Amino acid sequence: MTAADATIEAVATTDRLLIALDFDGTLSPLVDEPMTARMTPGARAVLDELVTLPRTVVALVSGRSLGHLREIAEHTDDSPIWLAGSHGAQFWVPGVGIEAAHDDTADLALRDRLQDEVGRRTAEMSGVWMEPKEYGFGVHTRTADAETTRAARALADELVATEAPTWRRRTGYDILEFSFRHEGKDSAIAHLRERVDASAVLFAGDDVTDEDALRSLGTGDLGIRVGGGETAATLRVDDIAALVGVLEGVARLRRAHTD
């Protein structure tokens, strides 16, 4: 048995397991039109299997706003899957629904003003578009050329640095994002771990923002990086299909252990 196999088996046989997964690039391929993203059939099938296992909790942890995450994940009101949206600033709890969070009206007004201003200034930049978010906004440049991307990001950085210097700045695959809330995927994992009383956590992600969660994992947990890039993960897999293979193995081991 390899070290990776031993780690997977240890997580799969823990008393109460939290399986927390990023969505874009982890369960769904990255797409030019973000709201068309959907899980691969294999990813959907293995999640459907995992949620049936005893003492096993499945959660999606995403930078997407909760409403957008529910749409792309095709998440229904009766779903057993927990959701953490907006990098852990929003939660959806099975059997309960959305957990309300206090929003300061001044922060929301500043969000709208900055989003409108960046949108106005980048409106003529080919391949650049704005994504409204619950606690801020994102500047997408997936179909923009390198020069346009640099110009759009510099414009947004300058405006936010002047008007909202305390906001959190994040970068991801072809997106620059700002938020007046400072939660990250690390705090999302900590919150979920406590809420479900998990004895171990398996977290998988593919992007820079997922590293917050991967670095927060402890002894007995398993972090998985999908694709390339520097990572704190214990295990790296090449793509979504390979991650599905790992999750299928976890499901088999856990079912045998809990039967």
**pLDDT at residue number 70:** 97
Cα separation of 136 and 79, whole Å? 27
**pLDDT at residue number 79:** 98
Q: Where are the domains of the chain?
A: 3-89+183-258, 105-179
**pLDDT at residue number 1:** 56
- The label of the residue with tokens 């960046």 reads 118
Model confidence, pTM: 0.85
Residue range 19-46: average pLDDT? 96
pLDDT exceeds cutoff 80 at 4? no
Distance of CA 199 to the CA centre of its chain: 21
Share of the chain above pLDDT 70, in %: 98
Cα separation of 61 and 83, whole Å? 6
Name the CATH topology of 3-89+183-258. Answer: Rossmann fold (3.40.50)
pLDDT tens-place string over residues 219-246: 999 999 999 999 999 999 999 999 999 9
pLDDT tens-place string over residues 41-81: 999 999 999 999 999 999 999 999 999 999 999 999 999 99
* 109, 143, 172, 176 from 125: Cα distances, Å: 25, 11, 20, 15
Q: Which CATH architecture has domain 105-179?
A: 2-Layer Sandwich (3.30)
pLDDT exceeds cutoff 80 at 172? yes
pLDDT band at 258 (very low <50, low <70, confident <90, very high): confident
DSSP 47: H
pLDDT tens-place string over residues 93-107: 999 999 867 668 899
Cα separation of 165 and 237, whole Å? 37
Residue length of the chain = 259
- The DSSP secondary structure of 201-215, one letter per residue, reads EEEEE-STTHHHHHH
pLDDT tens-place string over residues 98-154: 986 766 889 999 999 999 999 999 999 999 999 998 889 999 999 999 999 999 999
Cα separation of 47 and 38, whole Å? 13
When the pLDDT of each residue in the chain is averaged and rounded to a whole number, the result is 94
